């Protein structure tokens, strides 16, 4: 019960940081997705059910907080799918190795690519941007920026687990 409260508090803290601080480090219109990094972390440490559930609730809350910036439910859909896919990497006896090794950013890249492709292909429907344009100008840059941000926790875990 206490662990659930801590994870919920951390999830809400990451949501707050994503909606208040992260937009200030945008490169053009591209921002890293701190919530997605958290969801992949939960997938590695807690498994598929936790990461899928966290993806849904964080996506709903993000949509509600961001208001008119996105379609209500789109972040919930894409983050739920991301949590579900990332959950396949869960291995109870390899948590330290997965978090401190290259597995963490590689899985994040794969999951982020799927997440961003789905998000931008749906979000940009009806706009002048083509599918290829959505992938090239939004999906891939957002994936790269998120993966670069994921190197920070990877190095922290590598230092923590290997000393």
Domain boundaries, the chain: 2-161
Say what the pLDDT of residue 102 is: 87
CB 63 within 8 A of CB 70: yes
Number of H helices and E strands in the chain, helices first, is 8, 0
Distance from C-alpha of 106 to C-alpha of 100, rounded to nearest angstrom: 12
Tell me if the pTM is above 0.75: yes
Lowest-confidence pick of 65-69, 71-75, 138-142: 65-69
Which residues is 27 bridged to in the sheet?
30
Res. 155: pLDDT tops 70: yes
Of 102, 99, 62, 104, which Cα lies nearest the Cα of 79?
62
pLDDT tens for 101-149 read 888 899 999 999 999 999 988 888 878 888 888 889 888 999 999 999 9
Question: What CATH architecture does domain 2-161 belong to?
Answer: Orthogonal Bundle (1.10)
Which residues is 30 bridged to in the sheet?
27
Res. 70: pLDDT tops 80: no
């Amino acid at each position: 019960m206490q662990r659930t409260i801590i994870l919920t508090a951390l999830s809400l803290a990451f949501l707050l940081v994503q909606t208040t601080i992260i937009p200030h480090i945008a490169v053009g219109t591209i921002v890293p997705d701190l919530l997605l990094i958290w969801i992949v972390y939960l997938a590695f440490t807690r498994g598929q059910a936790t990461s899928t559930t966290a993806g849904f609730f964080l996506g709903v809350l993000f949509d509600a907080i961001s208001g008119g910036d996105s379609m209500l439910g789109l972040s919930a859909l894409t983050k739920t799918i991301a949590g579900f896919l990332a959950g396949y990497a869960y291995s109870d006896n390899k948590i330290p190795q997965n978090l401190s090794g290259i597995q963490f950013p590689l899985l994040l890249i794969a999951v982020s690519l799927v997440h961003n492709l789905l998000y931008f292909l749906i979000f940009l429907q009806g706009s002048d941007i083509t599918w290829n344009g959505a992938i090239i100008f939004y999906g891939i840059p957002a994936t790269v920026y998120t993966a670069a941000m994921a190197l920070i926790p990877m190095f922290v875990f590598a230092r923590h687990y290997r000393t």
